[in-house]
Amino acid sequence: MTGPERTARAAARASAAHAGNSPARRTGDDAGAGPAVRTGTGAGPGAVTDSAAVAGPSLTERRKAATRMEIARAAAELFMKHGLRATRAEDIARAAGVAPRTFYRYFAGKEEALGPLFSAGVEKWAEAVRDAPAGLSVPDALRHAVVQTLTPGAGVRPESMEWVRSLLRLAEGSPALLRVWGEACQGAERTLEGVLAARLSHRAEVAGDGAPRGGESRDGEPGVGEPGDEESCGGAAGGGRADRGGAAGGGRADRGGAAGGVGSRHVTASGIRLSAAVAGAAVRVAVETWAAGDDPADGPAGPVPRALSHLEALRDFPWGTA
């Protein structure tokens, strides 16, 4: 096994462990499933899974998750109907058909009750990246997931997108609710970290079996290569030729190059974590800016075109490397 393969494997194990410990993974799709890895839209024999894909949740865990999701839906309906300020935790409990003590067993306050609903949405996108065909590069897998999960009438119901818009507008006026949204996004980022680690580890293994090493895969995804490859991820300034995105001044410079010696394309844990954060922010900002306006979800200024535009701006980003 080559050095890059060992690095990618270690990064995959570390990132999968982070993802598995994330509280947001305790909620799933609309049914409120637990942390089992799903193989939804786009999944198939070629989908990439990670080492966290083990036995599913117990019956007790599934029941708890279902109760949490029922409370979350009741909270969302009341918030949109009466507003955040006028809605009490007791009102949510009554609407969900549970006792107030049951509500407080699951949530510290009314704002936290939206956590499972927020998490289900953002986790769905992260897991769609996992379910993308294994042959797709990281940028292609990210775009695939955006289309699969944010297209009204395909990956999501049109009315659900309007719920998203209403709830995010409520969050803008409530620091407590905005914190819940942020925590859900952070949990999905941890999930995505494990997903990207598994995908890049898989590609490193393919490269180790004889695929071109150190080259550039389509749409700007870096290959996994050795130090001294023709075009490297760290970039350099110092004497020789400069490649696209590099710095002038001699020396080899790579896409998005940085000064400081010969770079490498080794996948690292920090690179994977940064990649998950960047990709998550690109999609999150697309949804938030769409929600702040009045553009239809299926229009040219909807969340899908916005997210794809943000990901296109990251064409030269060195996915998984640092």
In 41-167, DSSP assigns E strands to none
State the average pLDDT for the chain: 75
**Using one digit for the tens of pLDDT, what is the confidence trace for 87-143?**
999 999 999 999 999 999 999 999 999 999 999 999 999 999 999 998 899 999 999
C-alpha–C-alpha distance, residues 35 and 115, integer Å: 15
Q: What percent of the chain has pLDDT over 90?
A: 59
> Do residues 256 and 157 touch, judged by C-beta distance below 8 A?
no
> Do residues 307 and 283 touch, judged by C-beta distance below 8 A?
yes
C-alpha–C-alpha distance, residues 216 and 238, integer Å: 22
Q: Residue 207: its pLDDT value, please?
A: 66
Q: Residue 137: its pLDDT value, please?
A: 93
- What crossing angle do the helices spanning 59-82 and 89-96 adopt, rounded to 10°? 120
Residue 256 has pLDDT above 50, yes or no: no
pLDDT band, very low/low/confident/very high, at 261 (cuts 50, 70, 90): very low
Segment 30-47 mean pLDDT: 38
Please state, as a whole number, how many other Cβ atoms lie within 10 Å of the Cβ of residue 138: 24
Domains and CATH numbers, the chain: 3-222+267-313 (1.10.357.10), 229-264 (no CATH)
**Using one digit for the tens of pLDDT, what is the confidence trace for 268-318?**
999 999 999 999 999 999 999 999 999 999 999 999 999 999 999 999 999
pTM above 0.75, yes or no: no
**Using one digit for the tens of pLDDT, what is the confidence trace for 13-24?**
544 444 444 333
